[in-house]
Amino acid sequence: MEKNNRLFEKTPTYKNIRSFFYLILIQAFMAALWLLLFPKEPENAVFLGYSLKRLALLLPIFLLPVIGFMVTTLLERRSGLQTWILDERKRVKTARVMIIGGFLLALMIWVFAFFIHFLRFFPDIGTYIRLLPVLSLYSLFGIEVIVFVPFSLFRKERSAHKKKADRKLPVFWISVITLLAIYILIELTGLGKSPVWVSTTPLGIPLLEGQIWFLCGVFVLMIISVYAWSAVPEQNKRKTFKQKDILVFFSLWLLALMLWMSLPLPDHNYFAPSVRAPNFEKYPFSDAEQYDYNSLYVYFGSLQDFVVSKPLYVSFLAVLHAIGGYKYNNIVFLQTIVLAFFPAVLYLIGKELHSRLGGFGIGLLAILREVNAIQASTMANVSNSKLLLSDMLATLVVAIMVLVIIRWFKYSEKRLSSHIFIIGGLTAVLNLMRIQTMALIPFILLLVIIRYFKQPKKILISSGIFLLTVGILLAPILIRNHSITDVYWLDNPSSSSAVYRFIITGSDLDVDIPDVETSEEILNRNFSIIFKALSQNLSQMLLFISDNFFRNLISTILILPVRLGNHVPVFEYLTITHPFWSEVYSQPNIFNALVILLNILMIALGYAVVYKKYPWSAFVALLVYSAYNLSSAVVRLSGWRFIQPVDWIILVFFAIGVLECIIWALEKIFNRDLWVDGELLTKESAGVINSKSNAIRNVGLGLMFFIASAFIPLRESLLPPLYPQFNRVDVCTEIEGLVSGSPYSDLTESIAEFCAADDTILLKGFGFYPRFFDEGEGYYDRSHDHYFGKQDYSRIVFRIAGQQNGKVYIKTNDSNIRFKNGALVYVLGRDKPIFEAQMVIIGAEDPQFIIPVSILAGDETFSLE
3-state secondary structure 74-136: HHHHCHHHHHHHHCHHHHHHHHHHHHHHHHHHHHHHHHHHHCHHHHCCCCCHHHHHHHHHHHH
Comparing 397-406, 423-432, 744-753, the range with the smallest average pLDDT is 744-753
Residue 200 CA from chain centroid, whole number: 19
Comparing 275-279, 592-596, 851-855, the range with the smallest average pLDDT is 851-855
The whole-number pLDDT of residue 507 equals: 72
* 359-393 pLDDT, tens digit each: 999 999 999 999 999 999 988 888 999 999 999 99
- At residue 676, does pLDDT exceed 80? no
Whether residue 244 contacts residue 683, with contact meaning beta carbons closer than 8 Å, is answered with: yes
- At residue 639, does pLDDT exceed 50? yes
Comparing 110-119, 645-654, 712-721, 844-853, the range with the smallest average pLDDT is 110-119
Confidence of residue 1 (pLDDT cuts 50, 70, 90): very low
DSSP assignment of 165-201 equals PP--HHHHHHHHHHHHHHHHHHHHH-TTTSPPPSS--
Rg of the chain on CA atoms, in Å: 33
Phi/psi region, residue 822 (left: phi>0; alpha: psi -120 to 50; beta: rest), is left
Rounded Cα distance, 104 and 153, in Å: 20
* 407-440 pLDDT, tens digit each: 998 876 666 788 999 999 999 999 999 888 998 9
Whether residue 206 contacts residue 561, with contact meaning beta carbons closer than 8 Å, is answered with: yes
Within 8 A by CB and 6+ apart from 776, the residues are 790, 791, 792
State yes or no: cis peptide before 278, omega within 30 of 0.
yes
Within 8 A by CB and 6+ apart from 115, the residues are 214, 574
Rounded Cα distance, 819 and 441, in Å: 47
In terms of Cα–Cα distance, which of 384, 289, 379, 402 is closest to 340? 384
The whole-number pLDDT of residue 44 equals: 63
Rounded Cα distance, 603 and 656, in Å: 8
Query: Between 289 and 674, whose confidence is greater?
Result: 289
Rounded Cα distance, 717 and 124, in Å: 61
Burial of 475 (0-12, 13-18, 19+ CB in 10 A): middle
User: What ranges in 38-78 are assigned the alpha helix state H?
Assistant: 52-56, 58-77
Its pTM stands at 0.92
Rounded Cα distance, 527 and 525, in Å: 6
Mean pLDDT calculated for residue range 836-863: 82
Query: Between 613 and 363, whose confidence is greater?
Result: 363
Whether residue 646 contacts residue 629, with contact meaning beta carbons closer than 8 Å, is answered with: yes
The whole-number pLDDT of residue 460 equals: 94
3-state secondary structure of 836: strand
Comparing 4-8, 65-69, 582-586, 696-700, the range with the smallest average pLDDT is 4-8
A 10 A CB-CB count for 829 gives 20
Whether residue 566 contacts residue 186, with contact meaning beta carbons closer than 8 Å, is answered with: no
Dihedral pair phi/psi, residue 726, rounded to 5°:
-155, 165
The whole-number pLDDT of residue 690 equals: 47
| Residue 762, beta-bridge partner list | 828
* 297-351 pLDDT, tens digit each: 999 999 888 889 899 999 999 999 999 999 999 999 999 999 999 999 999 999 9
The whole-number pLDDT of residue 495 equals: 73
- At residue 768, does pLDDT exceed 80? yes
Rounded Cα distance, 311 and 298, in Å: 10
The Cβ-side half-sphere exposure at 734, using a 13 Å CA radius, reads 20
Rounded Cα distance, 386 and 136, in Å: 35
The whole-number pLDDT of residue 118 equals: 64
Percent of the chain with pLDDT over 70: 86
Within 8 A by CB and 6+ apart from 119, the residues are 112
DSSP letter at 38 equals S
- At residue 850, does pLDDT exceed 80? yes
Mean pLDDT calculated for residue range 817-822: 92
DSSP letter at 518 equals S
Positive or negative CA dihedral for 479, 480, 486, 490?
negative
Within 8 A by CB and 6+ apart from 524, the residues are 516
Rounded Cα distance, 274 and 272, in Å: 7
- At residue 6, does pLDDT exceed 60? no
What percent of the chain is helix, strand and coil (3-state, nearest 5)? 60, 5, 30
Confidence of residue 744 (pLDDT cuts 50, 70, 90): confident
Dihedral pair phi/psi, residue 65, rounded to 5°:
-65, -30
The Cβ-side half-sphere exposure at 89, using a 13 Å CA radius, reads 2
Q: To the nearest whole number, what is the mean pLDDT of the chain? A: 85
The whole-number pLDDT of residue 454 equals: 83
What's the angle, vertex CA 342, arms to CA 338 and CA 344, rounded to 5? 105
DSSP assignment of 807-848 equals EEEEE-S-S-----TTEEEEEEEE-SSS-EEEEEEE-SSS-E
Q: b/e string for 383-411 if b means 16 or more Cβ within 10 A?
A: bbbbbbbbbbbbbbbbbbbbbbbbbbbbb
* 441-450 pLDDT, tens digit each: 999 999 999 9
Mean pLDDT calculated for residue range 718-745: 89
Comparing 310-314, 615-619, 852-856, the range with the smallest average pLDDT is 852-856
Dihedral pair phi/psi, residue 635, rounded to 5°:
-105, 20
Element (H, E) at 509: none
The whole-number pLDDT of residue 37 equals: 80
A 10 A CB-CB count for 848 gives 17
DSSP assignment of 697-710 equals HHHHHHHHHHHHHT
Query: Between 686 and 50, whose confidence is greater?
Result: 50
Q: b/e string for 440-449 if b means 16 or more Cβ within 10 A?
A: bbebbeebbe
Query: Between 296 and 233, whose confidence is greater?
Result: 296
**Pairing verdict, β 795-802 and 760-773:** antiparallel
Element (H, E) at 249: helix 244-262
Comparing 130-144, 229-243, 324-338, 415-429, the range with the smallest average pLDDT is 229-243
Positive or negative CA dihedral for 789, 791, 796, 800?
negative
Rounded Cα distance, 485 and 491, in Å: 10
In terms of Cα–Cα distance, which of 401, 376, 399, 402 is closest to 387? 376
Percent of the chain with pLDDT over 90: 45
Element (H, E) at 359: helix 356-376
Whether residue 604 contacts residue 571, with contact meaning beta carbons closer than 8 Å, is answered with: no
Q: Which amino acid is at 127?
A: T
Element (H, E) at 47: strand 45-47
Mean pLDDT calculated for residue range 53-61: 83
In terms of Cα–Cα distance, which of 471, 456, 457 is closest to 421? 471
